[in-house]
Each structure stands twice: as C-alpha cells, then as structure tokens.
Chain A
Amino acid sequence: MCLGVPMKVISIENDTATCEIDGVERLASLMMVDGIEVGDFVLIHAGFAIERIDRDDAEETLTALRSALEKGLVPE
C-alpha cells in the first residue's frame, strides 16, 4: 500500500502539480512539501507528493557502488 511513484513535475497551479512519468500524467497535491519547482522529481503516493527525490544523491550512490564493485571491493 505504501507504493510511491517517482514523477517529474511539469506544471504547478496553486498547490497542485501536474506530474509525468513515461507519458502518464497525474495531478498531485503539494500540501506536504515546500518549495517544489517545475522540473523537480517527487514521490507520489495516493494523489500527494510526499517527498522530493534527490537525483544527485541517487547518482552519487550509483557511481560509488559501480566504482567499488569494479575494483572488487565490498561497497560501503
């Protein structure tokens, strides 16, 4: 039930964002998150954006993981 869908914000009107993933658009309430801008990625659950997704953090994680595994190390 706690499934969340990562979506990109494509427009914002008042406290509601139009979000998109793979060509599917959904309206989401921004009642629970501050400072969201067009182009941000958010996690959508039951019609609400519940958190911002930090893409830089995700890419750092993946880079560190790949780099450790390529060197034959156990990643931190």
Chain B
Amino acid sequence: MNLSQAFRDPELARGLISSIKQVVADYSGQMTLMEVCGTHTMAIYQHGIRALLPEQVRLISGPGCPVCVTPVGYVDHAIALARKSEVIITTFGDMVRVPGSSSSLLREQARGATVKVVYSPLDALAIAAKNPEKRVIFLGVGFETTTPTIAGAILQASLKGIDNFLVLTSHKTIPEPMAVLTSNPELQVDGYLCPAHVSAIIGADAYLPLAEQHRVPCVVTGFEPIDVLRGTLMLARQLVRGECRVENEYSRVVRPEGNQKARELLYKIFEPCDASWRGIGVIPGSGLRIREAFARFDAARQLDVEVEEPVEHQGCLCGEILKGKVRPHDCPLFRTVCTPEDPVGACMVSSEGTCAAEYKYGG
C-alpha cells in the first residue's frame, strides 16, 4: 500500500468532513484554528480544505514558513558575504529570491557571485571539500526539522577537517512563537494544528506547556489531507467538550518523546539564543546559534563584512500575515506589484508562504 495515497482517499475525506460538521453543529460562534507550519498551509490550499469546512471552523496560517520569518537583515548579511570573491553561497532554493533591502542573492548571482542551490547541507559540505581555496557558506535557515541536518553537516566537517565550510545561521524553534501568539489578545487562537516534522524531532509532549498553562488544545497533525481533516476534527471535538489536551494525529511518525538522537546532535552543535522574527519581533530563547566549541564553522564570527541598514518594504503586510492577523487579499501589494515572478515580501517567495499559496490556489 502506498501510504501517501491512502491518506488522500476522497471517501475518507468526505466522511471526516461530515464528522466535523456533526461535531460543531451545536457550537455557537466560530473556532479559529492555526496551522503553524508552512507545509500545512500549502497542503490546505492545494487540497482546497478551507472551502470544505463548516462556517464555524476558521483555519488561519501561522509563522511556520522559515524563509518567511527570516528578517531582512539576515538576507542582507548573506548578500554582503556573496559579494566576496572567495565565497560560494550554498542554500535551499527558496532563499535565493527573497528580496533584501536593496538586492537579492539571485541578483548578486547575475552580477557574478557564486550561489548554488543544494538539496542537503551534506551537498554543501561536498562542495567545500572540492573547493578548498574557497569559503563555502551554507545558509542555515529552518526549524527543528532542518537544524539537526545542519548540525550533522557541521559535525562531519569537524571530523573530516573541512574548515572552509561555514554556516550563516538563522535557526528558529517553534513552541516559543506559539506561546507568544497565544498570549496576544488581538489574535484569539482557539487551537493549534501542530507541525508534523518539527514534532518528529521535538516530540508531541513539547506542546504540553501550551495546552496545560496556556489552555490551548494542540493536535500534532500530518501533512496529507486525511491528516489535516483528522487533526481539525480532533481540535473541534476538544473545543466542543471544553478540553485542552495534546493529541497526536500523526502517530505513524511522531512519538511523544520525539527523536532524542536528533536532538542530541542538534544540541551538541547549537545552543538556544534570542531570535528576531519578521512580523513578531525578538522572542527570547526562540533561536539556535552555533556553540563556541564549533565557532570556526560560524560564518558570522569568521568573516567580517559590512551589512547595509535593513529596510522593510513599504506597504508589505508579510509581518501581519505571519501572525495570522490579515489575509493576503488585505495587502494592497498582493497580485498587483507583488507576484511570484516579482515578489516584494518573503511570503510570496517561498512556495509554502501564505501569499504564494493564495496566489497559486486561492480563488
């Protein structure tokens, strides 16, 4: 059996939708559920799930697209490094098109910088091994799913003595912004569809403080349509019953305790720090930086460059969209000057950004 297909079965989807309708039938008012992860946002748009839900259930997108929440100053820093002749920038694809204050990596590439898109940080490490006269910088952007893979590459670099491999980090962790958004009285998030693969690393139990202290139901949810509908059903049922629990819809992958081995690797190389989130600001303890013992792999500490003063783009509502406060259609730039071909804000660049998903799949 192909599992991905089984979790896309239209008949099961129809049954789950009518179950959701049945559960919320007598619910007065509206429940606002936030899908935290960008991969959920994409799945929800791609499968048209919003339009299938009863009017009592409202899904909003959260801050879980790593490219989208990366502040413009980081992009400017990467651009400044790309301009150095001895540097090769290596990155996951989405970052190359994110506008900085006055340029982008794609534009720098057109001007002669070397920017290579890779599938894995291990590919970046291989490029470093092949180009010992260059400094190969990987753009370390991502949440708890991705950061252990970068820790793995740094550990390999250390073991193999590949000292021209560097990482410019902007890693972030997910539970902290969820707590911040929960405490924001303007938002009123009634329940969280918690990320699938971040939770594979941190474990379903990582959301217990949110459920127990902040009194918000949390359901770890997979990325297939049946998963999203089941997760929504579980949240709706908790809200109707007045419960605040952590449930795990994605138990075929996520364990309550998560993947301890991956976390050991992650924390061997990285340590918590404060981090700046586009649209939210600085959240204490929500970032990860390279430990002093591995500082020789930290591009920010090893290479001195002048970075321009960051300028946010006028009129772009990315920040408000990332908090779930406004929808892409509320932004005056959406579909007019900001399009996937010529994006103004990061939410339009990344394929899992809310604006890009709305542009591609929205009505």
Minimum distance in angstroms from A58 CB to a CB of chain B? 4
CB-CB under 8 A from B12, the residues of chain A are 62, 65-66, 69
Q: A3-B223, A45-B197, A62-B6 are in contact. List 14 more A-B contacts (CB 8 A).
A: A1-B146, A2-B198, A3-B39, A3-B197, A29-B152, A46-B119, A46-B120, A46-B146, A48-B122, A54-B253, A58-B3, A61-B251, A65-B12, A69-B15
Say yes or no: A51-B200 contact (C-beta < 8 A), given A2-B145, A4-B145, A65-B230. Answer: yes
Whether B252 contacts A58 by the Cβ 8 Å rule is: yes
Q: Given the complex of chains A and B, what is the CA–CA distance between A69 and B20 in angstroms?
A: 12
Q: With an 8 A cutoff between CB atoms, is B92 at the interface?
A: yes
User: Which positions 50-76 of chain A face chain B at CB distance < 8 Å?
Assistant: 50-51, 53-55, 57-59, 61-62, 65-66, 69, 74-75
CB–CB B121/A32 < 8 A: no
Residue in A1, A6, A33 whose beta carbon sits within 8 Å of that of B352 in the complex: A1
Chain A residues touching B, range = 20 to 34
Total inter-chain residue pairs, C-beta < 8 Å = 127
Q: Beta-carbon contacts of A39-53 to B below 8 Å, as 1s and 0s?
A: 001010111101101
Give min CB distance, A32 to chain B, whole Å. Answer: 4
A34 in the interface, Cβ–Cβ < 8 Å?
A: yes
Asked whether B37 is an interface residue with its Cβ less than 8 Å from the other chain, the reply is yes
Greatest chain B CB density within 10 A among A2, A46, A50, A54 is at A2
State the A residues within 8 Å of B (CB).
1-4, 6, 29, 31-34, 41, 43, 45-48, 50-51, 53-55, 57-59, 61-62, 65-66, 69, 74-75
Taking the complex as formed, is B19 at the interface, i.e. its CB lies under 8 A from any CB of chain A? yes
Cβ A74 vs Cβ B6 within 8 A: no
Scoring B residues 106 to 138 as 1 if CB is less than 8 Å from chain A, else 0, what string do you get?
000000000000011111000000000000000
**Do the beta carbons of A32 and B146 come within 8 Å of each other?**
no
Q: Using known A-B contacts A2-B37, A57-B252, determine if residue A50 contacts B259 with beta carbons closer than 8 Å.
A: yes
State in angstroms the CA–CA spacing of A59 and B92 once bound together: 34
Q: Which residue of A lies closest to B262 (CB)?
A: A32
B339 within 8 A of A: no
Residue from the list A33, A43, A47 in contact with B123, Cβ < 8 A: A47
The list of the 8 closest CB pairs from A to B, nearest first, reads A47-B120, A69-B15, A58-B252, A32-B262, A2-B145, A74-B19, A2-B197, A46-B149
A-B contact pairs, 12 of them (CB 8 A): A1-B67, A1-B145, A2-B37, A2-B64, A2-B146, A2-B197, A32-B261, A46-B119, A47-B120, A47-B122, A50-B262, A74-B22
Query: Min CB distance, A28 to chain B, in Å?
Result: 9
